[in-house]
Amino acid sequence: MNIRLTFLGATRTVTGSKYWLSIGQKNYLVDCGLFQGPDELEQRNWDHLSVNPKEINAVILTHAHIDHSGYLPRLVKNGFEGPVYASDATCALLELLLPDSGHLQEEEAYFANKKGYSRHKPALPLYTHDQAVHALKFLRPVKINQPFSLDEQLHITMRSAGHILGSTLLECDLSDANRKFRLVFSGDLGRYDPEILEVMRPPTSVTHADYLLVESTYGDREHPHASVEDQLSTIVTQAVERGGALLIPSFAIGRSQQMLYYLRELQEQNRIPDIPVYLDSPMGVDATQAYTRFGNDPNLKPDLFKRGNGSLLRCKHTYFTRSAEESKQLNEMSDPMIIVAASGMCEGGRIVHHLKYRLPDPRTTVLFVGFQGKGTRGQLLRDGADEVHIHGETVPVRAHIESIEGLSAHGDYHELLRWLSGFEQAPKQTFIVHGEPVANDALKAKIEQQFHWPSVRAPEYLNSVQL
């Protein structure tokens, strides 16, 4: 039987994860992510998909992040109407993430039309909030560690990947009349770092794959060994001394909860002042509640939420702001405070408005705590831009810029190699995905050097291979 894998995203880049698995006449999509970042990448969200959405039998999602799930409403809009399998916690997070993504698409189109800075006239959203809500109807929650079958030829087991709540790697067992083989998708892989393991579990080890797709976000880098809590306490203390706000652009899901956890730890130990902490993100607030609700998710450290009487993610003065009105009121406050807001790469969400308002103020501190994709506003700011463009306006940057790398939800190359060392035999073919070219190539070299695996390569966009 003809079994093919076609790479529709996350090739030589970190966004747009999408893999088309065709088994005879059946078509499956593993991950359904949005491209994010530079215009030429985002333009791909408008491309015709190589496979007709109407002919896709099912979608399987590794986790809820938009670069793995955010194309789903577009797929449904273009005619897909099959089941979408994802872990139960991922389904809960998608109920927050996808409608928000639709809202952001509409907002971006609105601002583009208002200020006339779009190349498209008029600028249109990729999909709307309502279309995203409609797409949720296709979700089919699956339990992690419980195998399920899509048809006789394809059996899948999701294993926790330790990346965020609900995150998984996929063990796919394929068969036809003549052969059986295993295809493994790593999804995004978490960490083995002791400070991260205060909250998360490490990725599940896998011992066998005939074909392997492995992520390489940090394939060329090592996370710093400096303690995250030490760095954070210094940065918060200095921000308070500057007398302004500390803005923390952060993914609403995962990173925001991690920040709340560390800030509470530091306040409890009297290592930072008791300044107010605003989680200015309705989705972040809902996600924080989901973390508590799915406390048994295999990605989380067991019994995590039994500590702290349910206030594990709340500092002494933590405020969850939901309405836009409450968010705007933060502009009127000039005393030191911490604002945690999405999006993590400053491409959308409430953080953009806070940046526009506070970047020109030298008392402001901006702290980056996550990966910044190439060409994103976050990357420009982190790398020291003197000005950035927000909603068609030029905003001067006088704020103090800081970053902490060690908080990543992705393993560095040591951690990726540690996970790969669980394989008892070399996969026949290893595909390096979800990384910039330099990260792809560095991880490939390290795998060849350390494991001597044959056929390790980083596929290009739209490459297709026969399995």
Burial 367-395 (b: 16+ CB within 10 A, else e): bbbbbbbebbbbbbbbeebeebebeeeeb
Helix (H) or strand (E) holding 415: helix 413-420
Which of 164, 442 has the CB closer to Zn ion?
164
Q: Which residue is nearest to Zn ion (CB)?
A: 65
Q: Tokens in use for 246?
A: 């500390």
Whether the CB-CB separation of 168 and 62 falls below 8 Å is answered with yes
Q: Which is nearer to Zn ion, 123 or 443 (CB)?
A: 443
- Cα atoms in the 13 Å half-sphere on the side-chain side of 50: 18
The rounded Cα 321 to chain-centroid distance in angstroms is: 22
Nearer to Zn ion, 344 or 406 (CB): 344
How far apart are the C-alpha atoms of 237 and 372, rounded to whole Å?
24
* Residue 68: CB minimum distance to Zn ion, A: 6
Residue closer to Zn ion by CB (options 188, 412) is 188
Q: Minimum Å distance from CB 65 to Zn ion?
A: 4
290, 255 contact by CB (below 8 A): no
β-pairing, 3-7 with 464-466?
antiparallel
> How far apart, in whole angstroms, are the C-alpha atoms of residue 446 and residue 450?
6
* Cβ at position 352, least distance to Zn ion in Å: 21
Closer residue to Zn ion (CB): 11 or 364: 11
Report angle CA 428, 184, 79 to the nearest 5 degrees. Answer: 120
Contact 387, 395 (CB under 8 A): yes
Q: How far apart are CA 50 and CA 7, in angstroms?
A: 10
Comparison of 65 and 129: residue with beta carbon closer to Zn ion: 65
241: amino acid identity, one letter: E
Work out how close the CB of 172 gets to Zn ion at its nearest, in angstroms, rounded to a whole number.
19
- Cβ at position 89, least distance to Zn ion in Å: 13
Task: State the Cα–Cα distance between residues 397 and 385, nearest whole angstrom.
Answer: 7
Taking the least distance from each CB to Zn ion, the nearer of 100 and 188 is 188
**In the complex, what is the shortest distance from the CB of residue 124 to Zn ion, in angstroms, rounded to a whole number?**
27
Of 419 and 453, which has the nearer Cβ to Zn ion?
A: 419
Residues that bind Zn ion (CB under 5 A): 65, 188
306 token code pair: 């039994």
